Amino acid sequence: MTEVHAPLTREAAEELRAGEEVLISGIIYTARDAAHKKLCELLQKGEALPIDLEDAVLYYAGPTPPPPGCSIGSCGPTTASRMDRFTPRLLEEGLRGMIGKGHRSPEVVEAIAKNGAVFFAAEGGCGALLARCVRRAEVIAFPELGTEAIRRLIVENFPAVVAVDAKGSVYNKWTI
């Protein structure tokens, strides 16, 4: 398995290949539909974003509340295509990686390649197991969204597969 550090530089993203298994460590951010919508609305208004998207990795997850003694509850990936209408704009802002499940539209695959980004697929149905990779979690934006608030996660050895690489190659096992 290839070790990936987040934030993820363009150079590091461009070395990854579709189908490659990775372990992600570092800082990632949760963001689902509602958070994506708010981020794009801020950009449309010319306002500052609550997070710096340059080289950021967004995890399409809405974690459950943490049980006692844990930093986060179950946090499995959600369907990535739900973010497709927002993704090209966020990639233009420097977003480098995304983690989710399912397929991406041809437009998003093209935008991923154009911007030297990567889409990682995480195994659906494994939210409790993936939560074990989260060392710390804190809400940093849009707390009014509840589970869909943006959280800053510190992760260690978070398992994923490169489903779309920076050249636009698609690993079909994870995207059908």
Structural element, H or E, at residue 91: helix 87-92
The beta-carbon contacts of 132-141 under 8 Å, at least 24 apart in sequence, are 133/157, 133/158, 133/159, 134/71, 134/72, 134/75, 134/158, 135/71, 136/71, 137/63, 137/66, 137/71, 137/72, 140/29, 140/50, 140/51, 141/35, 141/50, 141/51
Hey, which residues are catalytic here? 36
Give the C-alpha separation, 92 to 86, whole Å: 11
Return d(Cα 154, Cα 171) in angstroms, integer. 27
Q: Which of 97, 96, 89 is nearest to 36 (CA)?
A: 89
